[in-house]
A and B are shown apart, each in its own frame.
Chain A
Amino acid sequence: MITLHALPSWAALLIALLILTGSGLALIGALGLLRFKSFYERVHAPTLGSTLGMGCILLASMLYFSIGQTRPVVHEILIGLFITITTPVTLLLLVQATLYRDRQEGRDPLDGSNRPDA
């Protein structure tokens, strides 16, 4: 258990900046999920939170616990590694499923005649 006051001020400011950047990116990604018109556009939105957004928050967590406990705490790397490998796989499968369903309904988005942005 460590408290916020135990940190030197440069570390506290850096961690605050990383947390705000990371959660801000995740929020912008979620906003994109609401704003975009077609599914193929919406797929791009959550990657904001799962790449740089996650990276910033994991870095903040590593810095905070490493400095607070004066020993390296790096097990957050595991989450980073895991999410970086799995996010592309889930999005890829979802896009494949969507493409399959669109084609079954006779609307092939790759035809050019029926573009998703039209």
Chain B
Amino acid sequence: MSATILAFALVAGQVMLALAMVAAAYRILRGPRAQDRVLGMDALYLNAMLLLLVFGIGSGTTLYFEAALAIGLLGFVSTVAMAKFLMRGEVIE
């Protein structure tokens, strides 16, 4: 019984996080300004990372942990680079 509930929660969690990614992607497409798109991308990275963690629980292996960590790192670096670009027009000064 409880295993069924957990299985349901895993599916529901993955669906909710996928919807969150769709919402973030909509914000990227819609804008209206560049900073909104960057914010949307940051949210997209974050939700993708959470989705991988939930997927990792569902599949029962800790292999997805490294992937989630890599996504978290990449999301940070790319968002910072883009914010920097919006401010100065250059990434490296």
Interface on A for B, CB 8 Å cutoff?
Answer: 1-5, 7, 9-10, 12-13, 15-17, 19-20, 22-24, 26-27, 29-31, 33-34, 39, 42-43, 45-46, 49-50, 53-54, 57-58, 60-61, 64-65, 68, 73, 75-76, 78-79, 82-83, 86-87, 89-91, 93-94, 96-98, 100-101
Contact = CB atoms under 8 A, between A and B. Distances in A.
A-B pairs, 9 with minimum CB distance:
A16-B9, A9-B2, A30-B20, A30-B23, A93-B83, A23-B13, A12-B2, A97-B86, A23-B16
B20 A26 contact: yes
Interface string B24-65: 101100000111101110110011011001101100111001
Contacts of A2: 60
B86 A101 contact: yes
Contacts, number: 179
Interface of B: 1-3, 5-10, 12-14, 16-17, 19-21, 23-24, 26-27, 33-36, 38-40, 42-43, 46-47, 49-50, 53-54, 56-57, 60-62, 65, 68-69, 72-73, 76, 79-80, 83-84, 86-87
The B interface, classified by DSSP as helix, strand, loop or mixed, is helix
A26 B76 contact: no
